[in-house]
Every structure is written in C-alpha cells, then in structure tokens.
A and B are shown apart, each in its own frame.
Chain A
Amino acid sequence: MASITMDNLGKVYAGNVRAVTGVNIDIADGEMIVLVGPSGCGKSTLLRMVAGLETITEGTLRIGERVVNTLEPADRDIAMVFQNYALYPHMTVFNNLAYGLKNRGLKKAEIDRRVKDAAEMLQIGQFLDRKPRQLSGGQRQRVAMGRALVREPAAFLFDEPLSNLDAKLRVQMRVEIRQLQKRLGTTSLYVTHDQLEALTMADRLVVLNGGRIEQIGTPMELYSRPETVFVAGFIGSPAMNMLPADYLRTLVPAEALAHVPQNADLIGIRPEDLALAPPAMGEIGLSGRLLLLEPAGAESHLHLVFDGIDEHVVVRLPHVPDVSEGATLQFSLKREKLHPFHQASGQRVA
C-alpha cells in the first residue's frame, strides 16, 4: 500500500524526441487512476516510466516516501499486467505465478500459500499445472493478474490489459478487476485507450494528449465539465458536437446565450442534451434535417445537418423515435447545457 507521486515527470528520447512533458499526478493510497488518451499520447510511456521499464529523464517519481527514479522494476514494489499478458510460455501456471517470488527468495511454503490464495481469488486453481498455451484468452488474463497479485505489491500497473479480449469478456474482466482492486485496496495505475473502460473503472481519470495532461478529475467531472476542447471531444461517445458560437448567436434569442462569455467562439453540446421537442420558455430551439437514424436498441443516434449551417450533428435519444430520414426536426436545448470554449487556446471559458 502506498501513494504514487509524479512530480513534473518528463521523458525525452535520444534524438530529442519528447514523449512526456511536465506530468504532475498525486495518486492517493488505494486509488485507481486511469490514464486515457489516443494512440501515441504518451500514456504507455508514462506507465512504463513508473514501472521502471523506461528511464525517467525529468522530474521525480515517488512510490510511498521513496524516490524510485533509478530503481530497477523489481525493487520498486510494483506489479505489472501486460497487454499481451507476457506469460512465460514454457512454465506452468504455478511457476508463472511463483517465478517472481522465487527470485525474491521467499520460502517455498510462503510461495505455495500465496499462489494458492491468488489462484482461488481468480478461480484458476484447476489450471495450475497447465501451460499458458492450453488456456483461453480470459484464463491467460487471469493468470497475468495472478502474477501481479502474488507479489502483494504497493501498486498495480495495468497496460491495456483487456484489449486482447473479446467484447463480452472485456466487460466481465473489467468488473472483476475493479472489484478485486477495491477489495484489496491496492493503488493502481491503469492505461487504456477505451474511454468506456476509463469512465467505468477510474476513481480519477487522467486524459493525456501529446505527452501532456489535458485534465485530471473524476469521470463525471470530466464528462460534465471538460476543461479543454480535446477532452470534450475525447470523452463521450458519440462525441460532443462542436458548433461555432456565432452561428448559435444568430439563431437563438440573445438572452439565451447571455451567460456565454464574448470570447467563446466554439460551443460544445452533448448529443444527449438535445431533446426532440419544440423549445420551452428560456430554452434554445434548433432545427435540422435528419440524414440518418441509427437505432441501437435502448437508444438511437440521429445524424443531422442543422438549418443554416453545414455542420454534422449527432443527437442521442433514449428511445427510437418514429421519424423518417429527410424530415426536418425540432430540438430544444437547456441553456446551462452549453460548453463554451475558446478555439485558439482550446480552453473552456466558462
């Protein structure tokens, strides 16, 4: 059990290639932090820096009270779960779990106890004598988890551990990992590019872009109040609609946008904040032509072009409406649901 403190962490590769810049994150003891971002945003590099697999070129990293910048991975008291599991193919499941413990010189009885405990927790007890190739993807994932568990580390590091599983198994393992992490109360750092995974698992979410932190916060904070255009576009599916503020100002009664600062030139609107109804008093009214209706079971996605502007807009409704493609539809929007941004700086302005 320990906290992890990243103080101005940075990574510059040989040849002056910057991967990570000025990262400050304080992970509290027992907290689950998810790093999320597009490919190449530096999230995996950052995780590997914490693990000790990449050197830290700037800043300080503390696990607990210790500065661990130059320690070997094995000496950092962490355990890592790899994307492709990285199980030792020639060892049985038991030996895969026990290898790290043997290297640390633990007694055989202690190793046995820990492996048995972990195997029971992960329901892989009956596979202990098998080789990894005799296991299914989900079982291998559990073994990889088990290898992290038996070390009883101060922190778990997960590097996209679910991306090799099929969709159904992914949801199941997601729940299991989160339950396990809560039960053990182990500080965790989890990397993913899947925003649903990020939103559902994180105590706090860190959105990275271009090696820098865009925003840190609880999933709901990030969802309901994105601080940058990037976060607004990245978190949420379908993505937030971005409309020019000037366009909205011409459409709606002036007082509806009164609370939006003058320097806001881009307005974000979540797809689910547009309701298929004429505007009530004080609400903003918009109308557009329906290009495509995508029913998705419990909800539906409407692709539209709003009148007077050439922007593609997506609306999410909690039902499948009885409308036909090509029709012009009326939408209403509550004024407090606007997300005003300043386009040039990419920052939220109110």
Chain B
Amino acid sequence: MVENNRWGNILAHIILILGVAIVVFPVYVAIIASTHPPGTFVRGVMPLLPGPNAIENYTTVVTQGRSQAGTPPIGGMLWNSFIMAMAITIGKLSISIISAFAIVYFKFPFRIFFFWVIFLTLMLPVEVRIVPTFQVVADLGMLNSFAGLSIPLIASATATFLFRQFFMTVPEELMEAARVDGAGPMKFFKDILLPLSITNIAALFVIMFIYGWNQYLWPLLITTDPEYYTIVMGIQRMVTGGDSEPLWHLVMATVVLAALPPVLVILFMQRLFVKGLTETEK
C-alpha cells in the first residue's frame, strides 16, 4: 500500500482536476455559447457566462433549423441518427453474438479460418474501405436510405471477438449439463448463454450505440436528401452551408442536443451494468 501522503494527495487532485477541466471546458463553452444572441461571437470575445437567448436559440433549432442553408429542423435529424444508431447497434449485436456462438460451440470445417477472417475485418474500418463500399451501396440502390446508412457499418469484428472471449470463459460443464437436461444448441443459447451475456450485451450496446451515433463520414457521403441527414453530419452542413457567417449560437445549440442521447444511453445502461455485475456469476 502507498502511504497516505498529504502533498501527494494534493498533487494528485490537482492533476485530476486539471484533466477534468481540459475535458469539460469545451463542453461548457458549447453550452454557454448556445445561450447567446447571434452577434456575440462576431466580436471575437468568448463569453464565459450564460447569455439571455437560451430558450429562443433552442426553439429555433428544433422548429426551423437553418432552413435557408438547406438544413432541416433538427428533430428529424435526431430521429434519423437514432434509427441509424439503433440499427447498427442491434444489427451488430445480433450478428456478432450468433457468429461467436457458432465459432465457440460448433465444430465445422475451417472454423479457425473463419474466425480469423472475421477478426481481420477489424483492420478494415469503414474509412479504409469507403470507396468500394460506396460503390457497392450505390449499385444496390441504397443511397439515401436507412439500409444504406446502417448495413455497411454492421459488419465488424469487435463484438464477435468480445463475445467469443466471453463464451470461452463460460464453463463447458454448463453446456453439458444443459445437454443432459435435454436442451439442444439453440435452447442452450436462448436459456443459458443469452441470460449470462446480459452484462456484456449492455456494455457493447453502449459502445456500439455511441459508435453508430457518432458516424460522420459515411452518412455525409451517401445522403444527399435532407430527409436522411443525421445530426452529426447535420452540424457540419450547418457550419459550411450558406454564404453567410456560420450561426454559431444555433450550431452550438445543435451540438448540445446531439450530445444528449449518448449521455442518456450511458446513464440508463449504467444501472444495467451494476445490476448485471452484482447479480451474475459464472
């Protein structure tokens, strides 16, 4: 044990507080900026206290967006982002848990080979394969659609790999006991493996949801119809769209709203984490 040292404690706290400040400060600025009238930023001095225009700014982004620059009200964009993130998350989770189940519990030819093929896709994130993927999606006529937004992002190995690692820690006797109890492979999966994986599923849900929500490059590339704009790319459109100066107060209000859902997901899922961690045991 390290001895409790007064100065050491103070130093540690200073470093931690500094770290938190560096992370939190931009968020704070964004929130403050979203409460000021349009003119404030043109003057070049960044206010650090809330301004009077909070309600007005937020009402504007939610109801009108920045229509003259071709950006729709953000309600629709938030919804699009939500659909895309959910589709990616649920798609990834269901595909990866099933493939991990196959790889761990079934013996089939080239099993290890397939595992490595899946594993190799880790090295090919969307950004690397973006041109060929665009071509494929375009040829399939999936531009400007939710399918086009989510399907190409579903294929990934991270979750498969994590589920595989988890399944390997589940004692083999559980599977054997289930066999003696008359449960076939799918019944074992449904009745035993799935309930045991709840904690992992919850953790991956959070990670995948945020991954999906934060997608920027891909939606920017394949959506030209404002109906399918997602919030993250919408912010970019807001900044660059139109000839006038970016309306920073509205951009910042959008940023704050865009950051809310991931925060809510984490807050909600955290309860599940704790519950899972305290109630599950292998």
**Hey, which bits of chain A sit against chain B, CB under 8 A?**
51-53, 72-74, 78-80, 82-84, 86-90, 99-100, 103-104, 131-133, 147
Contact = CB atoms under 8 A, between A and B. Distances in A.
B180 A89 contact: no
Interface SS of chain B: helix, strand, loop or mixed?
Answer: helix
Interface centre among A79, A83, A87, A90 (most CB of B within 10 A): A90
B280 A73 contact: no
B183 interface: yes
10 contacts: A53-B179, A82-B177, A86-B171, A88-B192, A89-B280, A90-B279, A99-B183, A100-B182, A103-B187, A131-B281
Interface of B: 171, 173-174, 176-183, 187, 191-192, 195-196, 279-282
A84 B282 CA distance: 11
B166 to A, nearest CB: 13
A104 B182 contact: yes
Given A82-B173, A86-B171, A90-B279, 15 more contacts: A53-B180, A73-B176, A74-B182, A78-B180, A79-B180, A80-B180, A86-B173, A88-B191, A89-B196, A89-B281, A89-B282, A90-B195, A100-B180, A103-B183, A131-B281
Contacts, number: 66
Given A89-B196, A90-B280, A99 B180 contact: no
A147 B191 CA distance: 16
Contacts of A131: 279, 281
Given A74-B182, A99-B191, A100-B182, A86 B282 contact: no
Contact of A80 (B177, B182, B279, B280): B177
A93 B280 CA distance: 14
Contacts of B191: 88, 99
Contacts of A87: 177
B21 to A, nearest CB: 42
B179 A72 contact: yes
Contacts of A104: 182
Contacts of B182: 72, 74, 100, 103-104
A133 B178 CA distance: 18
A205 B279 CA distance: 42
Given A89-B196, A89-B282, A99-B191, A51 B171 contact: no
B9 to A, nearest CB: 37
B265 to A, nearest CB: 24
